[in-house]
Structure 1
Amino acid sequence: MRTVFFISFLSFAVSLLHDFDESLGIVSLLKYRGLLSSPGEVVLVAMDETSEAELGVGNDLTRWRRYHAGLIRELHRQGVALVVFDLQFIRADPEVDSDLADAMREAGNVLASDCIQMFRRATEDFFGREECSESNKDSALSKNGGAGGELAEPLVALRRISANPQLQPALLGHAPFVLANDAEDATIRETWLYLDGLGEMPSLPVVAWAAYLDRMQGFEQSKPWDASYMDWLAELRRTCLAANGDRASQKVDQRLAGIVCGEESRFINFYGPPQTLRMESYSQVLQGKVADLRGKVVFVGKANRQYAAGKTDFFQTPLTDARTGKMAGVEIMATVFANLLEDRFIRTPLAHGAVYAGFALMLALLLSVLPAWTGYAATALFTVSYVLIALWLFARHAVWLPIMTPAFVMLPTAWLTSLVMARRELLIERRRMLAFVRRVFPQWAGTLPFAESGNRKATFAAMTHREIRGVCLATDIEGYTSLAAGRSAEQMWELLNAYYQVLGRPVGARGGAVADVTGDSMMAVWFELSESERHTAACLAALDMQAAVMQFNQTSGLEPIRTRIGLYVGEMILGGLESGQANHYRAIGDTVNTASRIQGINKFLGTQILACRELVDTTAIAYRAVGRFRVVGRAEPVDLAEIVAPEMGPIDGGFAVALSAFQRGDWQVAIEGFQSVLKRGTDGPANFYLALAQGYQNQPPIDWDGVVTLDAK
């Protein structure tokens, strides 16, 4: 028991520092390994400071276009295999586009980048490179026929913009290239090979890699002559995702299967700091002063030789520092292509969580079996051996095992925990929590099988679990993390103490029982009344909770608390738990998990109380249907309704007609219907479905069955 607690505590501590190895571990491993020789097939043509001065173009990328046709013809004359532009030819330039298109067609081997725009909450939080011209920076809603409104907070609207119509047909291929640039940690470590959220679209390096292999060696499964490389690769990935395991890879050429059927993103194996790959000046290549380019894959893009702060499209990588500066986006693109060509991405054969668990288990075993100081010495030796093996695997095979967290977090935590951990403290904590629940929810005592006689344990053991059918209600505080920030543990204790008293009273008053309290969440169950009575009681309790929390917010003097509630009906087990001298029941089962998932859907729809239709259809509670959802961890969809008032039955107002059109895939009718609903006022579900309908109108989902699938809790 002591060992189990030790492992649980250690795993919790490690989970708080999960990003430690990603931020520092890869940096340490790459610096230990040193430089790698880059593939000779890859060459960068840099639009650098020298070329800016010689060609008189300055920093304006649009002024470079007049020279691209000459560059393509010079590269074609030298027999390069591919020319890949890290540029987006979106805005038309009538003076040069005709000649540029002719040069692209003559060469027959030119690829260019598409623009991916991402919008969160309409016009707020716009993301897209500057080559996406100003005319394409309109709101995602207004661009697709919406009038005002906002996207739901968790949703991201994606839009792809390709080269202008005169240039696009002349390209051999085109695709987006998007880098994961986190505002909190701007270091680039990963790359998306596919954008599964945008119709399984491949990235430009993947398209270039497939085109290179096709032109050099060909594939057993040939690309259809009328399909672009991007569409062909997207269709192959959809085939993989629709199949399972080995059956998927058997349908794809083996040289493509590892990428097409693999993970959406990979960790980049950088060959060194900026300018490690072969780099030539644009003006020198244009003037024919650079030779030895036959058979090469040439990447063309903005890349300064002397790094200057403030330049756009330059990124921090694990191997950049104050001396080397940041790496140009085109060099990162070329690095990804080189990794594809050499099958040299950084690999993680085991999930880091599994490595942490195994490491924690070994530390726990050594510290539990061996005497104190011997155990410390053994764990230190084990950690050093593990780190040496991890360094060797990375240097030789690009296999990444975490080293920073095990060596600098887990080992010290294990030593400290082994000194201070005691079973007595665990029992005291359990008793304190049970005392808290008894004090806050006195009505719970009547539902618990306490026996004060000497035969108490025998009585409890006989009632250790009970299978019931009833209603489960789950609650959660919206924005709990922000609420807790800046407050002491004592202040949060006092706040939650008062909050749960307010929240728990409607449960007891409506004949229910509180089954569990965890952090900012509460579970309650109804099972002793008749079916119609408990359904009605649970719905009324939810409405009472909503009103009680509103009154609590008016008198608390703190920022308002918003409580989300979910209800589901089904089979449950009331399981008896014993801790020290205290006994209590706890509800477990799929019904409990589903109620919690339904509660979470409120944050997507902007609602407060959601319940399954099976529950509300047997009551006189006022509600409206809000659609069918497939939630995380559950294959069977649930049909949901929003509870809005104590009586009246189902309500409408035009929303149902729009929802019906959405479920049958009539996107335009659905968009018009939801917009009509929103004209009458703010409506969270209408906002949610309007955003989805507009996205599906541009990119219809495959095998649409009217069910909205949520990938997040």
Structure 2
Amino acid sequence: MKRHFVRVITITIVTFLLGSGIDDLTRLETALGLDTLFKIRGTRTPPPEVVVVAMDEASESRLRVGQDLTRWRGYHAKLVQELQRQGPALVVFDLQFIASHPDQDPAFATAVQAAGNVLMADCVQKLRRGVEDFYGRDECSENNQDPFVQREGEQAQLLSEHLIAMRPIPATPVLAEAALDHAPFYLTNDAENSIVREGWIFLDEIAELPTLPVVTWLYYLKHTGVLQDIIPSDIPLSVWLTERRRQCVPGLDATTKSLAEKNKVENQIDEVICHEDTRYLDYYGSPQTLRMESYSDVYEGKVNDLKNKVIFIGKVNRKFSPGKTDVFQTPFTDTRSGRMAGVEIMATQFANLLESRFIKPPFPPSLSLMLFGLVVGLLLTQFAGYPGMAASFLASGTYVGLAVWCFNRTGLWLPIAVPVLIQLPIAWLISLLWSRRDLLNERKRILAFVRRVFPQWMPFLPASPGQWYPEKGTAQLTSERDVCGLCLATDIEGYTTVAAHHTSHQMWELLSAYYQVLGHPVSSHDGIIADVTGDAMMAVWIDLPIANQRLAACLAALEMEQEVGRFNETSTVGRLPTRIGLHEGDLTLGRLDAGEISSYRAIGDTVNTASRIQGVNKYLGTQILASAVIVGELKNIIYRPVGFFRLVGKEEPLELAEIVGRTNALSESINTMHNQFAWALSAFQQGQWESAITSFQNILAIHTHDGPSQFYLNLAKIYQNNPPSEWIGVVALDGK
């Protein structure tokens, strides 16, 4: 059991550490596992409230603006007016109105102010190493090339390569003041060729500013009327969100209500504000999965069902073309679909907020990897070799199925790439190496036993697995060996009755299974099965230190008792209650020739005495008896002396002890009973029959099935009426 536990823990820890390490270095779980879950799930229906108005190729041609975004400015005023005719909930521009256009901005600002529900995106500009590396979208970088972080007094000094700074750049003042609110929206630079899997909720590097999808979500909730008395109406929600984000620091939010006082919407808002600054986006599918209308169609009044919708306006390339800007890779993009526009990603993040559904693990990924390694380790240890590999493979398939189901249903993300591709093969390799090591150790043990006991067979054993040399003959060596060892004898109680009620084939099947159960504790505790005859088995322990030999045999006997009990509970053919006896002394291991047949077994008085001790169990109603010298100095074994006996065919009396269990398995009541039994047995051995009778009766009043107490009570009553002539405290048995 301890060996199995060590193997399970080793497989768990090794697979967890290697899997986690490889994932940290390669991002395997995100790059392969998460993307695979998306592809297995496929397209998901987006919320109907979300509409993308695409500044696409068709609109470029019909409005004759080309790809120059500055030429679109003159059309936005009429677009906003056309949208307001239909009554949308919000209009969100994913465009940077940084450069001023005096001839067009006033009309646009007037339309925006009249609408009262227009939100605009601030550009987030990021620089590294002075003016050499600028990251931003469109004119955000093109028109703002001045360094904004420099060392004091060193105006010409470039920034350190490792120093990265970020700043938001809003629209021109006339447009920013006309808009309902504005907030930044930031995506990773397309030149980095990275897949966009996460969206920013807050930009903590820029004074805890909320991003535009979050601001849009909160304004939409306000539009639906669910935020009454929850948020103030006298300040922009982007400002309120920043203040609340800063209050999330422990100890600063003294006005926050308890969770019990908050409704579902309040708790959801708190969860968005006060948790991670990024979330994994739950994409709905490939580009253009969200409802998308052409800018020119909306502009010309051809789209009429936009009431209470949230309209996201931005540049979209409907036709795949390399070299386009403001397009990004997602788990669903490929060479056929093309990349996804930034405005679609913004709309996706808003839709996730609206559904309160992002991709997130149900618990820390490290815990998932640890539990997966533990389950695989248990299966590989419980079912060794190929059965264990098959069981772990089926368990892995079940786990992957559960992960796919959770992902499809709720967006919960369980790791699959690292467990299946890293942890499972490593666990298999460890298991196979351990099986190989066990095989070699078992072979060494067998060879050592043969070398000690049957040296004449050594020349015929294979030098290595798979080899056999039957033609190798050597001089005949001695066929026996005298050793000092310990014998364990077993016998089945009522075997004759059981055999009489079953066919020979049924008894063969029953005994075959029974001896498998009986033999395992012997081999696992370094014992050797010396003989099996009918319903009896003989095992021996040799060539071990005396204390180790005694402890191993006692532990094997206790395990036999437990395993036979389980066997009898599950057996459908018959029960085989078993008695066990242990004795140590000199014995001979050798070959006996009977005609042309030879058999090897243990022979000697020690073997016979172990068998006689086993037989005493039927008198005392016990299961495991041993000569007292075996258990006398063992601290890990619970036993109780049961008296001196003169066995059949023996002149010298022998003190016996019942082996009860291990030291950590003794209850207080049993300990008390053992003490009472020792006192009663002492009275019996001194011939104090009346006192012994009373004491044994007191024990049986509580422990009605204690066999030794019942045996001595009956004997004391007989001796009280007819005392032995020469009593020395030894019980003479007249049967085996």
Matching of residues 113-512 of structure 1 within 5 Å:
113-132=121-140, 134-142=142-150, 147-180=155-188, 186-243=194-251, 253-420=266-433
2:33 paired residue number:
25
Note closer, same or farther for the CA distance 1:52–1:144 as it changes in structure 2 (3 Å cut): farther
Question: Hey, what's the Cα distance between the residues in 2 that align with 1:145 and 1:205?
Answer: 40
Kindly indicate whether residue 87 of structure 2 is the aligned counterpart of residue 87 of structure 1: no
**Displacement of 1:151:** 3.7
Q: Which runs of 5+ in 1 are unaligned?
A: 425-713
Question: Hey, what's the Cα distance between the residues in 2 that align with 1:107 and 1:146?
Answer: 47
Kindly indicate whether residue 24 of structure 2 is the aligned counterpart of residue 13 of structure 1: no
**Displacement of 1:368:** 3.0
Question: Hey, what's the Cα distance between the residues in 2 that align with 1:420 and 1:150?
Answer: 57
1:17 is paired with a residue whose SS is helix
Maintained 8 Å contact 2:52/2:311: yes
The residue type equivalent to 1:104 in the other structure is V
Note closer, same or farther for the CA distance 1:160–1:331 as it changes in structure 2 (3 Å cut): same
Maintained 8 Å contact 1:200/1:234: yes
Note closer, same or farther for the CA distance 1:379–1:213 as it changes in structure 2 (3 Å cut): same
**Displacement of 1:289:** 1.1
Question: Hey, what's the Cα distance between the residues in 1 that align with 2:252 and 2:46?
Answer: 35
**Displacement of 1:26:** 1.9
The residue type equivalent to 2:419 in the other structure is P
Note closer, same or farther for the CA distance 1:68–1:182 as it changes in structure 2 (3 Å cut): closer
**Displacement of 1:255:** 4.0
Question: Hey, what's the Cα distance between the residues in 1 that align with 2:230 and 2:286?
Answer: 38
Q: What TM-score does the superposition give when structure 1 sets the normalisation length?
A: 0.56
**Displacement of 1:139:** 1.8
**Displacement of 1:185:** 5.6
Note closer, same or farther for the CA distance 1:181–1:346 as it changes in structure 2 (3 Å cut): farther
The residue type equivalent to 1:269 in the other structure is D
Maintained 8 Å contact 2:110/2:178: yes
The residue type equivalent to 2:44 in the other structure is L
Question: Hey, what's the Cα distance between the residues in 1 that align with 2:411 and 2:271?
Answer: 16
**Displacement of 1:224:** 3.5
Note closer, same or farther for the CA distance 1:372–1:243 as it changes in structure 2 (3 Å cut): farther
Question: Hey, what's the Cα distance between the residues in 1 that align with 2:52 and 2:412?
Answer: 27
2:337 is paired with a residue whose SS is coil
Q: What TM-score does the superposition give when structure 2 sets the normalisation length?
A: 0.55
Question: Hey, what's the Cα distance between the residues in 2 that align with 1:37 and 1:396?
Answer: 12
**Displacement of 1:164:** 0.9
The residue type equivalent to 2:413 in the other structure is W
Maintained 8 Å contact 1:241/1:248: no
Maintained 8 Å contact 2:135/2:189: no
**Displacement of 1:225:** 3.9
2:427 is paired with a residue whose SS is helix
Question: Hey, what's the Cα distance between the residues in 2 that align with 1:13 and 1:181?
Answer: 32
The residue type equivalent to 1:60 in the other structure is D
**Displacement of 1:143:** 10
Maintained 8 Å contact 1:248/1:261: no
2:149 is paired with a residue whose SS is helix
Maintained 8 Å contact 2:55/2:295: yes
RMSD: 2.5
**Displacement of 1:11:** 2.4
Question: Hey, what's the Cα distance between the residues in 1 that align with 2:52 and 2:424?
Answer: 45
Q: Of the candidates 88, 99, 106, which is equivalent to residue 107 of structure 2?
A: 99
**Displacement of 1:146:** 5.3
Maintained 8 Å contact 1:240/1:248: no
Note closer, same or farther for the CA distance 1:366–1:388 as it changes in structure 2 (3 Å cut): same
2:134 is paired with a residue whose SS is coil
- Cα displacement string for residues 361-386 of structure 1 (whole angstroms, at most 9, x for unaligned residues): 22223223432222212211211111
Maintained 8 Å contact 2:203/2:211: yes
2:95 is paired with a residue whose SS is coil
The residue type equivalent to 1:279 in the other structure is M
Structure having the higher Rg: 2
- Percent identity over the alignment is 48
**Displacement of 1:258:** 2.3
Kindly indicate whether residue 86 of structure 2 is the aligned counterpart of residue 78 of structure 1: yes
Farther-moved stretch of structure 1 (62-71 vs 140-149):
140-149
**Displacement of 1:123:** 2.6
**Displacement of 1:340:** 0.8
Question: Hey, what's the Cα distance between the residues in 1 that align with 2:268 and 2:166?
Answer: 30
Q: Which runs of 5+ in 2 are unaligned?
A: 1-5, 438-736
Note closer, same or farther for the CA distance 1:357–1:378 as it changes in structure 2 (3 Å cut): same
Matching of residues 585-624 of structure 1 within 5 Å:
none
Note closer, same or farther for the CA distance 1:400–1:172 as it changes in structure 2 (3 Å cut): same
2:477 paired residue number:
none
- Cα displacement string for residues 81-116 of structure 1 (whole angstroms, at most 9, x for unaligned residues): 110000011111100111111011000000111011
- Cα displacement string for residues 639-665 of structure 1 (whole angstroms, at most 9, x for unaligned residues): xxxxxxxxxxxxxxxxxxxxxxxxxxx
1:289 is paired with a residue whose SS is coil
Question: Hey, what's the Cα distance between the residues in 2 that align with 1:271 and 1:407?
Answer: 26
Maintained 8 Å contact 1:274/1:327: yes
Q: Of the candidates 61, 64, 67, which is equivalent to residue 56 of structure 1?
A: 64
Maintained 8 Å contact 1:87/1:131: no
**Displacement of 1:154:** 4.1
Question: Hey, what's the Cα distance between the residues in 2 that align with 1:117 and 1:144?
Answer: 21
Note closer, same or farther for the CA distance 1:311–1:144 as it changes in structure 2 (3 Å cut): farther
Question: Hey, what's the Cα distance between the residues in 1 that align with 2:90 and 2:153?
Answer: 39
Question: Hey, what's the Cα distance between the residues in 2 that align with 1:142 and 1:236?
Answer: 31
**Displacement of 1:248:** 7.7
**Displacement of 1:420:** 3.7
Question: Hey, what's the Cα distance between the residues in 2 that align with 1:144 and 1:221?
Answer: 47
- Cα displacement string for residues 406-426 of structure 1 (whole angstroms, at most 9, x for unaligned residues): 1122101111233346999xx
1:446 paired residue number:
none
Maintained 8 Å contact 1:104/1:110: yes
Question: Hey, what's the Cα distance between the residues in 1 that align with 2:432 and 2:191?
Answer: 39
Kindly indicate whether residue 116 of structure 2 is the aligned counterpart of residue 111 of structure 1: no
**Displacement of 1:296:** 0.8
Note closer, same or farther for the CA distance 1:145–1:89 as it changes in structure 2 (3 Å cut): farther
Note closer, same or farther for the CA distance 1:77–1:91 as it changes in structure 2 (3 Å cut): same
**Displacement of 1:152:** 4.2
Maintained 8 Å contact 2:125/2:141: no
Question: Hey, what's the Cα distance between the residues in 2 that align with 1:182 and 1:309?
Answer: 12
Note closer, same or farther for the CA distance 1:120–1:282 as it changes in structure 2 (3 Å cut): same
